[in-house]
Amino acid sequence: MRRHHRILRPSSSAGPGDIGRRAFLGGTGAVLAAALAACTGGGQLAQRGASGGSGGGGALQWWDQFRPLTKMLQDDLFAPYMKAHAGVTVERRQMDVPDLGQALQVARRSNQMPDVHSLAGLGDVSPAALVSEGWFQPIGKLADFAGSPVADLLYDGIHRFNGEIHSFPPFSGRWHDAVPWCNTALLKEAKVDPEEEPGTWDRLREIARRITNGTDGDVYGMVVPSKDPDYLAALVHRLAMTAGAPGPGAIDWATGEYVHDSQPYIDAIEYLVALQKDKVVHPASASMGPRDARARWAAGQAAVYLWGAWFIGGLRVDEPEAVERGVGVWHIPCPETTRNFVYSPPQPGTFWVSKGSEHAKVAAEVLLRMTTREFQTKLAAAMDQPPALAEVVAEAEVHPAYRACVANFQEDVKIGPVPEVGTPGVWQARAEMRDIHPNLGDIVQSVLTGSSTDIGGQLRRYKDQLSAERERAVKAVREEKGVEVDLNAWVFANWDRKADYDQKSYAGR
């Protein structure tokens, strides 16, 4: 469930390695093969991968990784379109994330790309990089995306390249992945009113304590899965933002400097440590990944778990009884009663049309249908990531908690700046940057598992190394490839922390 959400996150956000470790269990070595496929070129693999291929007229090939949306896509998207257009067939293949990435790599090298596909499994690669290598064709002239309900959500450098629309966001960018989901049955057992929102960190801490003390021995107030550093990094980014950190990506937009060692980050990590010291966090948290934690939550072992909007959609598929038992949702708490915003980047495109596709027109038309209010309402009903037209959630058939969660996003989340949008050369510098370890997630993990206590020192070291690496990468691409980019690309002096950083803001920089 989780994987595709991570993939959907734009490349400019938080940390590297957006595919969770858990995902790799499924395909340990999958990316490995992808990487090697990239260097060997074609083969049997591809021929199998694209049996029926896109070249020979025939059906429109569509590859993606959204298992929970399988039925919905078929019934509400492909079937109606095929009915209206005789002679058109859409063949969809759903693959697991690592498999999809690998199949794409090989298909690409042997000229067997599907007509439409998502980018899952290709790692943290920027769509801009793929566009510049000729993966896709523009769809703006094939269907009227500029006049569609999502027109306002299209950005240069994310969806529009060289002035042409290449993709669109079917989901909303206004979301975060630290939503406190609570088990209302356990809350009642501990005599905590689920309606009584813990607006502050301290209140949440107190509620967690009351739940831990007011219930059975092996029920805890919270669960904070710590096996996956990516989860921890995302959580700390969000909490730090509620404490006033800028974002997304821990960058001070006034100067372009990284702020991983600033007070909000230290406070956020110390808050997690305090929860742990109170013994209100499930003691097995350290061995859990995010999905494990959801299962523990569903088993009634912890009452509050901070994760994304898709939590409840996944729960309904895998542990439906936990939904019936009672799910509640709160705003993300802030340290003080004055509320800060949480910042997310604009939602990137999910589906792209291959350069060589002979069904580009049909593909674009099918994709355009995803932007209709009708389809968006159906999308909402899957209770996955919020749909691009988030307002349809109010009338869609969804659980009240999901509706509340999406409504909270409208109040809590602002869209922040993305350097790639302002300066096209940024993606090349980012592709040049090597990973730094220990990164934010690693540091939080080491603190929570007791192998380190020096939060400030570690964060400072990470920030310094990251800054140095960015400088090196910028210099390297400028000098070796002649890319126009400098550190000013990370400066957005007109950023207003209380407003969305919209298209006009980029122009007014």
Partner 1 sequence: MTTDPSKTTIRRLRQDWWIYLFLLPTLLGYGAYTVYPLLASWWFALLDWPGFATAGTFTGLDNFARLIEDDLFWNAFWNSIVFLVIAVPLRVGAALALALVLNSKKTPFKGFFRTLFFLPVVTTGAIVGVVFTLLLDASGPVSLALVWSGLIDSPANFAANAGTSLYAGIAVWVWKWLGITLIYWLAALQTIPQGVHEAAMIDGAGAWAEFRHVTMPLLVPFLVIITLIDTVAAFNVFDLMQTLTGGGPSFSSEVIEIFIFRTAFQATVPQLGYASAAAVLFGLLTVLFAVAQALGMRWARGRMGTS
Partner 2 sequence: MRRPEPRQVVTVVLLAVLGGLWVYPFVWLVSASLKSSPEIFGRGLNLLPEEPVWENYARAWTEVGFGTYFVNTLVITAGTVLLVVVRSALAGYVLGRYDFAGKKLLIGLFLVTFFLPEGYTIIPIAQLTDQLRLLNTHAGVILGLGAGGQIAATLLYAGYFRRLPKELEESARLDGAGHFAIFFRVMLPLAWPITATVVILTFLFSWNVYLLPLVFTLSDPDLRTLAVGMTVFVGERGTDWSGMAAAAVISLIPVIAVFVALQRKFVDSIAGAVKQ
The number of residues that bind partner 1 (CB under 8 A) is: 46
Contact assessment for residue 133 and residue 64, using Cβ atoms and an 8 Å cutoff: no
Pick from 234, 252, 173, 180: which is nearest to 211 by CA? 180
Any contact of residue 468 with partner 1 (CB under 8 A)? no
Residue 438 site contact among partner 2, partner 1, none (CB < 5 to 8 Å, cut-off depends on kind): partner 1
Residue type, 94: Q
Minimum distance from CB of 410 to partner 2 (Å)? 30
Among 7, 8, 14, 45, binds partner 2 (CB under 8 A): 45
Closer by beta carbon to partner 2, 318 or else 486? 318
Distance CA 100, CA 94 (A): 8
Asked if residue 341 lies in contact with residue 415, where contact means CB atoms within 8 angstroms, the answer is no
CA–CA separation, 346 and 174 (whole Å): 8
Q: How far is the CB of 471 from partner 2 (least distance, A)?
A: 32
The strand pair at 352-353 and 116-117 is best described as antiparallel
Stretch near partner 1 under the rule CB under 8 A, chosen from 135-143, 155-163, 185-193, 435-443? 435-443
Nearest distance from C-beta of residue 68 to partner 1, angstroms: 23
**Which residues are bridge partners to 329 per DSSP?**
181
Residues 354, 131: Cα–Cα separation, whole Å = 10
Spatial CA neighbour of 10 closest among 244, 169, 237: 169
Handedness of CA 258, 261, 266, 269 (dihedral sign): positive
Answer with the entry of partner 1, partner 2, none that 37 interacts with (C-beta below 5 to 8 A by kind): partner 2
φ, ψ at 164 (rounded to 5°): -115, 140
* Structure token digits, residue 38: 């990239």
The alpha carbon torsion through 256, 260, 266, 272 (nearest 10 deg) reads 130
Binding mask 193-232 for partner 2 (x = CB under 8 A): -------------------------x--------------
- Lay out the site mask for partner 1 across 2-41 (x = CB under 8 A, - = otherwise): --------------xx-x-x--xx--xx-xx-xx--xx-x
Q: Does 383 bind partner 2 (CB under 8 A)?
A: no
First-to-last alpha carbon distance for the chain, in angstroms, is: 38
466 binds, among partner 2, partner 1, none (CB under 5 to 8 A by kind): none
Residue 33 near partner 2 by CB under 8 A: yes
- How far apart are the C-alpha atoms of 360 and 62, rounded to whole Å? 12
Residue 411 interacts with partner 1 (CB under 8 A)?
A: no
Only one residue has tokens 């990973």, namely 435
Compute how many other C-beta atoms are within 10 angstroms of the C-beta atom of residue 81: 16
Taking the C-alpha atoms of residue 6 and residue 11, their distance in angstroms, rounded to an integer, is: 10
Taking CB under 8 A as the rule, does residue 28 contact partner 2? yes
Q: What tokens were used for 226?
A: 């710590």
Spatial distance between the Cα atoms of 336 and 201, rounded to a whole number of angstroms = 8
We find the least distance from the C-beta atom of residue 122 to partner 2, in angstroms, to be 15
Residue 420 as a binder of partner 1 (CB under 8 A): the answer is: no
Binding to partner 2 in span 67-106, by CB under 8 A: 96, 98-99, 102-103, 106
Regarding 53 and contact with partner 2 (CB under 8 A), the answer is no
Nearer to partner 2, 43 or 134 (CB): 43
Beta bridge partners of 161: 164
Span 249-308, contacts to partner 2 by CB under 8 A: 289, 291-292, 294-296, 298-301
Q: Rule CB under 8 A: is residue 229 a binding residue for partner 1?
A: yes
| Shortest distance (Å) from residue 97 CB to partner 1 | 13
Q: Which stretch binds partner 1 (CB under 8 A): 62-70, 157-165, 179-187, 222-230?
A: 222-230
- Cβ 128 vs Cβ 161: under 8 Å: yes
283 binds partner 1 (CB under 8 A): yes
- 295 near partner 1 (CB under 8 A): no
Residue number with CB closer to partner 1 (468 or 499): 468
Please report whether residue 284 would count as binding partner 1 according to CB under 8 A: yes
Q: Residues binding partner 2: what is the number (CB under 8 A)?
A: 43
**Single-letter amino acid code for the residue at 101:** G
Q: Shortest distance, CB of residue 302 to partner 2, whole angstroms?
A: 10
How far is the C-alpha of 12 from the C-alpha of 344, rounded, in Å?
10
Stretch touching partner 1 by CB under 8 A, among 172-180, 249-257, 390-398, 436-444: 436-444
Nearest to 251 by CA among 502, 490, 4, 504: 490
Choosing from 4, 93, 174, 227, the residue that interacts with partner 1 (CB under 8 A) is 227
Q: In 388-500, which ranges are continuous DSSP H helix?
A: 400-412, 419-422, 426-432, 440-448, 455-481
Identity of the residue, 121 or 416, whose beta carbon is nearer to partner 1 in the bound complex: 121
Q: How many CB atoms lie within 10 A of CB 420?
A: 26
Look at residue 44 and give the partner it binds from partner 1, partner 2, none, a contact being a CB closer than 5 to 8 Å depending on partner kind.
Answer: partner 2
Structural element, H or E, at residue 251: strand 251-252
In the complex, which residues of this chain contact partner 1 (CB under 8 A)?
16-17, 19, 21, 24-25, 28-29, 31-32, 34-35, 38-39, 41, 123-125, 129, 218, 226-227, 229, 282-284, 286-288, 301, 431-435, 437-438, 442-443, 445-446, 448-452
In the complex, which residues of this chain contact partner 2 (CB under 8 A)?
22-30, 32-33, 35-37, 39-40, 42-45, 48-49, 96, 98-99, 102-103, 106, 218, 289, 291-292, 294-296, 298-301, 318-319, 321-322
